[in-house]
Structure 1
């Protein structure tokens, strides 16, 4: 699944809540809960990278990515906004003399 597709699903849940949806549970609990999950998942990424194997790292990065997208959607920030910021940062540097 592409990041934009996942973000759209999350944004759709925000706009049209579905009973039993974990995404809606996070939105209902508010930003503090979302931030707590981002922090937990970030720590799990670090632990996986330090010795739990590549598959576990993939799983944890996937969890972190999902929770980051929920955070962005809660603020009305899109992946395109992040892409634009990254694009600004990737400006060619002039040759050094």
Structure 2
């Protein structure tokens, strides 16, 4: 599991120098990388390049996992929120903003 691998790198940075460098950059660097990867997924999706979109989506999920790990959030907590939304809204979609019409 990716989360466990990230935790192992936290304990032993030599296991993955790239991940260790990202962790050392702190939350701001992790957030920056997450935004960059999200943009790359969007660009490749618009281009219609399925294979590259898959690769960029994997990078996005990796960077999201590193950031969640930094915040001590287990991905299962995110999935629990998705389940809560599905129960409330019929599908796990974005919640409406309070006070704003859809």
- Common fold, TM-score beyond 0.5? yes
Could you tell me how far apart the structure 2 residues matched to 1:93 and 1:39 are? 27
Judged with a 3 Å threshold, the aligned counterparts in structure 2 of structure 1 residues 32 and 91 are, in CA distance, closer, same or farther, namely: same
Q: Are 1:21 and 2:22 an aligned pair?
A: no
Judged with a 3 Å threshold, the aligned counterparts in structure 2 of structure 1 residues 93 and 20 are, in CA distance, closer, same or farther, namely: closer
TM-score (norm 1): 0.83
Which structure 2 residue ranges, 5 or more long, are not aligned?
91-102
Moved more, 51-60 or 14-23: 14-23
SS at match of 1:82: helix
Which structure 1 residue ranges, 5 or more long, are not aligned?
none
Query: Which residue of 31, 49, 54 corresponds with 1:53?
Result: 49
Shift of 1:17: 2.4
Shift of 1:29: 1.1
Quick check: 2:9–2:16 contact (8 Å CA) kept in 1?
no
CA deviations over 1:12-45 (Å, ceiling 9, x no partner): 2123322652111011111111111001101100
Within-5 A mapping of 1:7-46: 7-18=3-14, 21-46=17-42
Paired positions, count = 90
Runs of 4+ more than 3 Å apart? none
Shift of 1:78: 0.6
